[in-house]
Amino acid sequence: MSSKAKIGLIGAGWWATANHLPVLVERDDIELASVCRLGADSLQQVKDRFDFTHATEDYRELLETPDLKGVVVASPHTLHYEHALAALKKGLHVLCEKPLTTRGSEARELVTEAERQGVELMVPYGWHYSEFIQHAKRQMDKGAIGEIEFVMCHMASPIRSLLEGKQFLSTGGGAGENMFEPGADTWADPEIAGGGYALAQMSHSAGLAYWLTNLEADSVSALISSPTSKVELYDSFSVKFKNGAIGSFSGAGALPDNQQFQLDVRVFGSEGVMTVDCDRARLEILRHDGNNFDMKLEPDAGAYFGGGPTANFADIVSGKTKTNWVPGWAGMRAIEMIDAAYRSVESGNTEAV
């Protein structure tokens, strides 16, 4: 019997083949046991390139693989819930791409099922693997700024063409080269994507903010704008949290092509404020008592590390660690907010989570 831990992949498209598989194929403790995607020719290409033992167009067949330990879910957004839940019910560790789901109730069910099964549910947030982000998390958990009173979270990305359904040039961040181009419908068709910039990108930034703060959204009032696309390019959310704090989450999918992502989280508390800035690589704590902190960082310290979550997942599946830097509950809280925000846009009212 092989000593390697078996992993399956559901949804072998652009990002999975450019990021997850180049990491996993280099691991000597992981067996790429089965891969699933639609399209027989493309499926065979993936099987051959990454030396999978088995390939299928039916994810249910993949989940019957003997001794399977974990599954990466990288299918279109609206299929994440179905695929991840089926894998969790088999007692498998799951790395589910962003957004975790498109509905808050579905995200809660995934987190509950993972807890019931005693397995890890992970959402691949690459920024969580930056040293200064992990330091920021430790400081927040220690209460570095006191009781949280206000959160500002902003993200912007060079993905306008992707959300418009046009040819998209990847801006990097993955672990390998592109094997496939992003499917336009997956991102630009509202029925398939489930939404626009909020699901496609703010699921990253909101996941980071909720992970850093441990807050939970209580209600959301939102505005979105879609000037040149069927899905929204711009988002503006006003949030009330369960602890009484309030916050502002914004997103813009229209940076010029090949520009670096913007991601800025500022958390104001009773004792000070923490600034986490990824594009300008800054971690700063300003306290009312003058006991300030400014971490010395290299200019590229805030670069997105797409391979981090994949390597972390492989370590968990193979038993090398129990530390999950990208827990499912952070992705759940992001989706709870985004779901309420979309409902707010439809109703014109503040919506409860």
pTM of the model: 0.95
pLDDT at residue 176 is higher than 70: no
Same domain assignment for residues 202 and 298: yes
Same domain membership, residue 59 and residue 141: no
Provide, rounded to the nearest whole percent, the portion of the chain with pLDDT above 90.
Answer: 90
150 and 46 in a common domain = no
**Residues of the chain above pLDDT 70, percent:** 97
Is the separation of the CB atoms in 29 and 7 below 8 Å? no
Query: Cα–Cα–Cα angle for 319, 94, 100, nearest 5°?
Result: 145
State yes or no: pLDDT of 248 exceeds 90: yes
| Contact in structure between 271 and 146 (CB atoms under 8 Å) | yes
Task: Check whether 40 has a pLDDT greater than 90.
Answer: yes
Q: Alpha-carbon distance 93 to 95, whole Å?
A: 7
Same domain, 148 and 258: yes
Local confidence band at 183 (pLDDT 50, 70, 90 cut-offs): confident
What's the pLDDT score for residue 173?
56
- Tell me: do 161 and 233 sit in the same domain: yes
pLDDT band at residue 177, thresholds of 50, 70 and 90? low
Q: How confident is the model at residue 258 (pLDDT cuts 50, 70, 90)?
A: confident
Q: Are residues 141 and 121 in the same domain?
A: no
Note the pLDDT tens digit of each residue in 78-133: 999 999 999 999 999 999 999 999 999 999 999 999 999 999 999 999 999 999 99
Q: Who contacts 64 (Cβ-Cβ below 8 Å, separation ≥6)? A: none
Give yes or no: residues 76 and 144 share one domain: no
347 and 298 belong to one structural domain? yes
Q: Is the pLDDT of residue 170 over 70?
A: no
Per-residue pLDDT of 144-163, as tens digits, reads 999 999 999 999 999 999 99
* Residue 276, domain CATH: 3.30.360.10
> What 3-state class would DSSP assign to 121?
strand
Whole-angstrom CA distances from 162 to 41, 159, 187, 189 are 24, 5, 7, 11
Does residue 171 register a pLDDT over 90? no
pLDDT band at 182 (very low <50, low <70, confident <90, very high): confident
Strands 30-36 and 54-56: parallel
User: Given pLDDT bands bounded at 50, 70 and 90, which one contains residue 333?
Assistant: very high
Helix (H, G, I), strand (E, B) or coil at 257: coil
Q: Are residues 10 and 84 in the same domain?
A: yes
What is residue 174's predicted lDDT score, i.e. its pLDDT?
58
246 and 342 belong to one structural domain: yes
The count of domains in the chain is 2
Q: Do 279 and 228 belong together in one domain?
A: yes
Sequence-ordered strand ranges (E) for the chain: 5-10, 30-36, 54-56, 68-73, 93-96, 121-122, 148-156, 217-225, 234-241, 246-252, 262-269, 272-277, 282-287, 293-294, 351-352
Structural domain boundaries, residue 142: 132-302+333-352
Lowest mean pLDDT among 37-41, 176-180, 204-208, 316-320: 176-180
Average pLDDT estimate for 15-22: 96
Average pLDDT, the chain: 95
The CATH number of residue 39's host domain is 3.40.50.720
Same domain, 182 and 296: yes
